Each structure stands twice: as C-alpha cells, then as structure tokens.
Amino acid sequence: MAKPLILVSNDDGITAPGIRTLVTVALKLGEVVVVAPDGPQSGMGHAITIGNTLRLDKSIAFNDLDVEAYECSGTPADCVKLAKHHVLKDRRPDLVISGINHGSNSSISVLYSGTMSAAIEAAIEGMPAIGFSLCDYGHEADFSHTEEFVELIIRQALDNGIPENTALNVNFPMKGKEKIKGVKICRQAHAKWQEEFDERLDPRNRRYFWMTGSFVNFDKGEDTDEWAISNNYVSVVPCQYDMTAHHAISILNEWDI
C-alpha cells in the first residue's frame, strides 16, 4: 500500500531544530513533503501575503533525509496554500503537521500562533491537521522527550482521522527530570498575556517601544491545557476556525435593531 502523504510546515523557519524533529518522526509513518518559511514567522497568526510577491524555492535543509523540501518567503498560512495549490497540485495530503514550535501555543497563544495557523489553514481546506509546540523558547531546546508522543498522536490521527473542520493543538512540557505522565484531551484555558510596553530611546534619540509582560492564567479548572502542561502531561486541544459566539446570538436578537 502507498504510504500516507504528510505535509510539514512551521513558523520558526525551515532550519529550526523543531521542524527537523517533526520531519524525522513523520518519516517513520509516511512520505514527507516540507513547505516552510525561509525565516522566523513567529506571532504572525493567520496572516497571508496579498500585497507583495511570494517566493518559493527548493530547499537543501533536508537533503540528508532525502525529503522534498521548499522554503517560502511568506507566512505559515501562505506555505500551506502554496503547498496545496502548487507543490502538491493534484496530490492531497493525508495529514498536515506543523511545528514543533519553540515555545508554548497553549491557551490564548493559539490566536497569535503561526504554527497553529498553518494547521488551521489546512483544516479550512478540509485536510486533517495538527500543530505541535514545546514549552521551551530556546533555539537549542531538547525535543527528544516529545518524539514518542508525536509518533503516537500522528499514528492515531492517520488511523482514526480528525473530526471535520478541526485542527489539534498539541503542547509538550519542557524536558525535565520527570518523564511525561501521558496525554490529556483538554479545553483551552481562560488566560491571557498581560502586556506592558517598555518605552526606550534609540541611538538617534527617537522613541520606540518593546513589548514585555507576563502570562496570567485565570482558569482553575483541571481540564485545561495549562493544567495538563503544568502537571507534566501532553495537552491536546481540538480547535475550530468558526469563531462565532453562538451563546450571544439570542442576546443580540433582543436588541432593537
């Protein structure tokens, strides 16, 4: 039987260690094609390129693994679009995976995440998709403890499918002395970034701002991604791109409009 076709992308760029880990694991389970940004695209959310040219070039990043790879000048969402319409043409991926991101994409971070936007873009196109992230922002982060769970989750997705119009948001605790306890299916925690803007002056005495701040978790539930990660579990949150606040429709229908 033909191997499953797995499309791989990310937002940290095609040379990031996280995507190499993901490609290495995916190769155990199927044929892999990579279309990823040519440089870092973190925090781009679901941005797409509409006012500038897009460039797509063959990449040598995975020549040692004998993997067909392309680097794109655009965003993660652009990468998935170009993969579907140009690179793969009439071939449809059995699964689209994104990551492994250097840094958490749990809770509210899913809205800002380029990693998850690649997965959500795939879901919009009707392709099963998963975004993987590690709660370690270091470029030299250790991904070794994620590999068995990445393989497990990919295998389950290939065997069982992913619900329609859904992308899975998977987050791993950073490597510690204790082994990961297992996998938890979760909801997104109610949390946010409490931003601050540090005002500074450049060498020409012109004012600029640098965003700082801290993450605040308001959610005390034990069924959330934040709880799972902090208790050394892998969190899996099913995400949808329909952002309708369905509970508010009946309230707004009472307005005199």
List the one residue out of 160, 108, 86 whose CA is nearest residue 130. 160
Under the banding of pLDDT at 50, 70 and 90, the label for residue 78 is very high
Question: Does the residue 24 lie in any domain?
Answer: yes
pLDDT of residue 195: 87
| Whether residue 1 has pLDDT greater than 80 | no
Helix runs in 162-235, H state only: 225-230
Q: How confident is the model at residue 43 (pLDDT cuts 50, 70, 90)?
A: confident
User: In which domain, by residue range, is 48 found?
Assistant: 5-189+222-252
177-228 pLDDT, tens per residue?
899 999 999 999 999 988 889 999 999 999 999 988 888 899 999 999 999 9
Give residue 2's pLDDT: 84
Q: Return the structure tokens found at 197.
A: 């803007």
Between CA 92 and CA 94 the distance in angstroms is: 6
For residue 94, is it within any domain? yes
**pLDDT tens, position by position, 205-216:** 999 999 888 888
Model pLDDT for residues 149-164, shown as the tens digit of each residue: 999 999 999 999 999 9
Residue 118 lies in a domain: yes
Count structural domains, the chain: 1
- Asked if residue 206 belongs to a domain, the reply is no
Rounded Cα distance, 200 and 10, in Å = 32
- The answer to whether position 81 is within a domain reads yes
CATH of the domain at 238: 3.40.1210.10
Whole-model pTM above 0.85? yes
CA distance 19 to 7: 12
With bands split at pLDDT 50, 70 and 90, how would you rate the model's confidence at 68?
very high
